[in-house]
Structure 1
Amino acid sequence: MTKEAGRGHALLVGAGILCSRLFGLVRQRVFSHYFGLSDAADIFSAALRVPNFLQNLFGEGVLSASFIPVYARLLAQHKQEEADRLAGAIAAALALIIAVIVALGVLATPYLLWAIAPGYTGEKRELTILIVRILFPGTGILVWSAWCLGILNSHHKFFLSYVAPVVWNLSMILTMLFFRHRDADRLIVYLAWGTVLGCLLQFLVQLGPVLKLVPGMRLKLDLHSLHVRQVGGSFLGVAIGRGVVQISAFIDQAIATLLGSGAIAGMTTASSINLLPVSLFGMAISASELPTLSRMAGDEWSADVATKLSARLNHGLERIAFFIVPSSMAFFALGNVVVAALYQSGAFTRKDSYYVWAILAGSGVGLLASTFGRLYASTYYAMRDTRTPLRFAIVRLVFTVALGLASALLLPRALDIPLQWGAVGLTASAGVAGWIEFHLLRRKLNKRIGATGVSVAMMVKLWSAAGLAVLVACMVEHYLPLYGPIVTAIFVLSTYGMVYFGVTYLMRIKVCVEVLGKMMRRIGIGG
């Protein structure tokens, strides 16, 4: 697999993710318009996170890390029949596991909520329980979507699996628009059912193409198969690692429920923006590289394999850094422009925009570490090592909890500011913990495959270019007449992007030259 092909696959993943994230931003804008940062917004945001634990524990990241390396190797060895049997066995196992866990989750929702949202009481708690119970089955269906993604990605069919969430977002958007005249509490109940319908549609749009790729598949649980045991062994390790990460997220959520009305909704709104660059660049590159890294790692280890893995990883890290550095800088300096343009409407006020900007700036602390960490984790998974990422995920959890408690609950009191602002400390402290995890992942991998990472010189150039671009963009914002949030964002952010690309091109940053060269060729300029 050439680097050019890898870039093409990353482009397909990125295009699919971009479509789904854009619709996700539209969905969040409609949601913010009707709910703002109200109690109803808190309820739905918290409720959606509870069953999402199931999706994250058994879904995309875990299945990709455990299933794709084994399945992709069988395809590379032209063992289609064995690959089909493996796909069917994993599908059967997921059906059994998901059915049991969804049933238990629906029954145990009241007990889960005591741990997840201890700050919710009375009617707010009861309505959250109802929403969680409605959402649980739908989230189980999303795990099947993740299985589809594993099949499609292994066959280098990247676009469909990542664009499929568009129908999920559309279902939620149309539900809110159709029932918009209902009161807020009733509207979120309808929205929960619309979410479940969207989960089903997201799975169904992928199912047809998947069945064509696995013509010999049978839904038969085969625990004696060597390949199934290999997936199962990796699955358990990765699931535990993802579980640790999810526990960290739930602890943050539990703390946020103690910070007052609007904290959960504010963090969810900021997350919808924060996840855009993570998904477009971190997930896109990591997802497209995993099948290739798995084939490169093979079954026999050698110095040549280590060298190839190191070169492939470094190339991916450079591409990630080129896009994530300006994203982080924008979150810090231009977050108010971004948030206002996306969400300032209806019940979502200017004051809400500044609050979400602060949370978004906090999340920018660990943005680069989290995206780098995804690609490092993919490299470990390609090498069939799930224990190392698990150990370091536990370390991250410890630091996230300790720093999160101090930043969210103690620091606001020490500074004599409203407790609600502790949400900023939560996102920033999670970022610090992310840097610790990234450092540990990199140090351990460097001992196995040689030096990895982006050079200091390149990082200095990227941050300098982003800093210069943000200064120019801030000047434009300062002197620009009051045209409204959306028009302001168009002028400010386009200036920021053009200056960043212009400066990095003059610096001859390789990724920038490649990207601009490809864009020019597409519009008929250059050879």
Structure 2
Amino acid sequence: RLAGFIRDRVFAHYFGSSDFADAWRAALRLPNVIQNLLGEGTLSASLIPIYAEYLEKGEEEKAGHLAGAALGILTVVGGGLALLGILVAPLLVEVLFFRWSPDKQAITITLVRILFPMTGMLVISAWALTILNSHRRFFISYVAPVLWNVSMIAAMVGGFVYLDLGERDLVVALGWGALVGGALQLMFQVPFVLKYRTGLRISVGRHVEGLKEAIQNFIPVVTARGVINLSGWLDLFLAALLVDGAVAVLGYAQTFYMLPISLFGISVAASELPELSRMRVEAEQVLASRVSTALRRVSFFVIPSAAVYLVLGDVVVAAVFQTGAFGSVETLVTWGVLGAYAIGLPASASSRVLSSAFYALRDTKTPAKIAYIRIVVSIVIGLSLMIPLDDLGFEQLRLGAAGLALGASAGAWLEYVLLRRSLRVMIGAHGPGSSAVLRVMLAATLAVGSGVLLQLTLPAAHPIVLGVATLIPTGLVYVATAAFLGEKISDRVRR
């Protein structure tokens, strides 16, 4: 994710919120449906609980057979979907972005066709990540995406500096860089996965033990993710109805939004899922304690992140993106959307942990059903707020995309409440604890308050300088205050 921020800063410098930025964000989102349907989250939910249990029992041969069958099926299905995406790219773009100019549609179609094969490779990369996570090898699988980002950065910088490409050719070069990066990400993980090749035989065999159960777990998750992808496509469609640049701004805000979710929500969930799967047969109190600890760890990091985004979001966005074609107006609009996303950030990140608990208990249907409800609520609220916020009367600060983000936040909190309620029935009382949450909220409030004082008193400076001078002290105040209030910092940071 940190490498992704560097990539997006370079992207913002060259493209800002131009038509080419819109085209890239849309083109990256459309093929991503394959990765979302068949990638890390789906595989983790369906494969890790069974695979990890085989490992715990010392049945490496069975685990290898299951992994090989999963790889074979993913290769066939992922490859087929990538080919289909290349063929129907013109239809998708013309339907979803009918208000765009023919030239903008044409460049989007070109990019979509380049990126569909990339997502096919990223699905296999997600399979490798799943295997490595099951063997408690977390570092390798999460370092591999750095190569993907580096490849795209090299394509942009090299294309502009050495080849003197214009915006249109440069965004196409970026697409090819992403394709090469996807291949590098996969190839980097292969040698490490091969260390666990006992019993690994690529097949699509239906008689492999554990495969039937994995597919049964897979179907509800992939169905829910299919609905989520439709929701994401609808967000793109609605944003494309707004002013030019709305799709790009939504993408920039989502980059910030996903950072704490990935660093703390997904990472904690990824590390907990294999352990929770191994503990499935233990007492409910043991599982509840483990889930509660994970939720406290997520809250410690995500609540202050949300507070900073909400109050100091302009400083954050300017420090990271305000350069070249990305100006002060883009900074303010992105902050507006990011602030709306920040409201639901703690709920969204915590829901990753709660969903992992269900997956460990071999229940993939409950999170899927709740995801359907969340998506419907998000769409209804987002659609009802989008137009009013876009028509507030500001000439340049059009905030229609913030309405979509507010809908997502409302849906995230509903999902969190429903997941907590359903999980309580299965494992009993659990949660981060009200006292721990209050301590973190108080520390976060004091920290962002100090950040605002710094922002108001510091002289005008380059956005990066102002960001460093404001955000680092804000973080230090948060850590110091949280420690003073009784938070065990080392316990929160570990793993």
In the alignment, which of 127, 130, 148 is matched to residue 128 of structure 2? 148
Q: Determine if contact 2:65/2:208 at 8 Å carries over to the other structure.
A: no
Alpha-carbon separation, structure 2, partners of 1:244 and 1:328: 26
Q: Please give the alpha-carbon distance, in whole angstroms, between the structure 2 residues aligned to 1:106 and 1:371.
A: 33
The question of whether the paired residues in 2 share the 8 Å contact of 1:340 and 1:353 is answered with yes
Structure 1 residue runs of 5 or longer lacking an equivalent are 1-20, 299-303, 520-527
Is residue 72 from structure 1 mapped to residue 52 from structure 2 by the alignment?
A: yes
Matches of 1:245 and 1:477, distance apart in 2: 38
- 2:97 maps to which residue? 117
The alpha carbon displacement at 1:348 in A equals 0.8
Distance 1:341 1:294 in 2: 41
Residue number in structure 1 paired with 2:67: 87
Could you tell me which of 378, 387, 398 is aligned with 2:376? Answer: 398
Query: 2:238 aligned to 255, 262, 265, which one?
Result: 255
Query: What is the distance in 2 between the residues matched to 1:202 and 1:107?
Result: 25
1:33 and 2:13 aligned? yes
**Residue 6 (structure 2) pairs with residue 23 (structure 1):** no
Contact 1:296 1:309 in 2 (8 A): yes
* Secondary structure at the counterpart of residue 420 of structure 1: coil
SS at match of 1:261: coil
Contact 2:131 2:193 in 1 (8 A): yes
**Offset of residue 221 of structure 1:** 1.6
Counterpart of 2:362, as a letter, is R
Q: Does 1:264 align with 2:244?
A: no
- AA at the equivalent of 1:481: P
TM-aligned CA deviation for residue 237 of structure 1: 1.3
Q: Which moved more, 1:105-114 or 1:496-505?
A: 105-114
TM-score, scaled to structure 2: 0.96
1:202-351 equivalent positions in 2, closer than 5 A: 202-298=185-281, 305-351=283-329
Aligned residue type for 2:200:
M
1:119–1:254 CA contact under 8 A, matched in 2: no
Inter-partner Cα distance in structure 2 for 1:311 and 1:234: 25
Q: Which stretch shows the higher mean deviation, 225-234 or 59-68?
A: 225-234
Inter-partner Cα distance in structure 2 for 1:394 and 1:436:
11
3-state SS of 1:37 partner:
coil
Amino acid at match of 1:55: Q
CA distance in 2, matches of 1:49, 1:148: 22
Q: Which residue of 1 is the match for residue 358 of structure 2?
A: 380
* Equivalent residue letter for 1:116: L
Kindly state the Cα deviation for residue 363 of structure 1 after the two structures are TM-superposed.
Answer: 0.8
Letter of the 2:72 partner, please give it: A
Contact 2:60 2:198 in 1 (8 A): no
Deviations 1:403-433 (Å, cap 9, x if unpaired)?
Answer: 11111124433x4456931101111110111
Distance 2:119 2:388 in 1: 35
1:163 equivalent in structure 2: 143
Contact 1:370 1:438 in 2 (8 A): yes
Deviation at 1:397, TM superposition (A): 1.3
* Structure 2 counterpart SS, 1:334: helix
Separation in structure 2 between the aligned mates of residue 76 and residue 380 of structure 1, nearest angstrom: 19
Contact in 1 for aligned 2:94/2:105 (Cα 8 Å):
no
**Residue in 2 aligned with 1:43?**
23
Corresponding position of 1:514: 491
- Give 2:421's match in structure 1, choosing from 410, 419, 443: 443
1:235-271 CA-partner distances (Å, limit 9, x unpaired): 1111111122222222111100011111111111111
Aligned counterpart, 1:7:
none
Aligned equivalents of 2:106, 2:77: Cα separation in 1? 28
Instruction: Work out the CA distance in 1 between the residues paired with 2:261 and 2:97.
Output: 26
- Partner residue of 1:474? 452
TM-score (normalised: structure 1): 0.91
Separation (CA, whole Å) in 1 of partners of 2:491 and 2:381 = 40
- Residue 404 of structure 1 aligns to which amino acid in structure 2? G
CA distance in 1, matches of 2:437, 2:97: 40
Deviation string, structure 1 residues 415-464 (Cα, Å, up to 9, x no partner): 44569311011111101111011111110111111111122222222111
Q: How far 1:118 sits from its partner (Å)?
A: 3.8
Matched, 1:429 2:407: yes
Unaligned runs of 5+ in 2: none
1:452 matched to 2:430? The reply is yes
CA distance in 2, matches of 1:88, 1:222: 9
Q: CA deviation at 1:321?
A: 0.4
Contact 2:317-2:331 at 8 Å conserved across structures: yes
SS of 2:177's equivalent?
Answer: helix
> Whole-Å Cα distance in 2 between the matches of residues 446 and 115 of structure 1?
43
Q: Secondary structure at the match of 1:454?
A: coil
Which whole-Å CA distance do the structure 2 matches of 1:292 and 1:241 have between them? Answer: 24
Amino acid at match of 1:259: L
The AA in structure 2 aligned to 1:248 is: S
Q: Which amino acid aligns with 1:272?
A: T
Q: CA separation in 1, counterparts of 2:467 and 2:393? A: 33
Tell me how far 1:216 sits from its aligned partner: 2.9
Moved more, 315-324 or 244-253: 244-253
User: Which amino acid in structure 1 is aligned with residue 309 of structure 2?
Assistant: F
**Deviation at residue 114 of structure 1 after TM alignment:** 3.9
| CA pair 198-76 structure 1, distance change in 2 beyond 3 A | same
> For the residues of structure 1 that align with 2:207 and 2:61, how far apart are their CA atoms?
16
What letter is aligned with 1:175?
A
Per the alignment, do residues 477 and 417 of structure 1 end up closer, same or farther by CA in structure 2, a change over 3 Å counting? closer
How far does the alpha carbon of each residue in 1:359-412 deviate from its partner, in whole angstroms, 9 at most, with x for none? Answer: 111110110010111001000011111110111111011111111111112443
Contact between 1:74 and 1:83, CA under 8 Å: does it hold in 2?
yes
Question: Hey, what does 2:387 align to over in structure 1?
Answer: 409
Distance 2:34 2:97 in 1: 17
Paired with 1:78 and 1:217, the residues of 2 have a C-alpha distance of 15
* Cα distance in 2 between the residues matched to 1:437 and 1:315: 20
1:280-330 per-position Cα deviation (integer Å, ceiling 9, x unaligned): 1001100000000011114xxxxx521111110000000000111100000
Measure the CA separation in 2 of the matches of 1:354 and 1:481. 19
> 1:514 deviation in Å?
3.5
**C-alpha distance in 2, partners of 1:331/1:480?**
19
Q: For 1:112-146, what per-residue CA distance to the aligned partner results, in whole angstroms no more than 9, with x for missing partners?
A: 22443343231111211111011100111000000
Q: Confirm or deny: 8 A CA contact 2:19 2:244 kept in the other structure.
A: yes
Equivalent of residue 126 in structure 1, options 106, 115, 123: 106
2:462 is the counterpart of 1:484: yes
Q: How far apart in 2 are the matches of 1:354 and 1:285?
A: 32
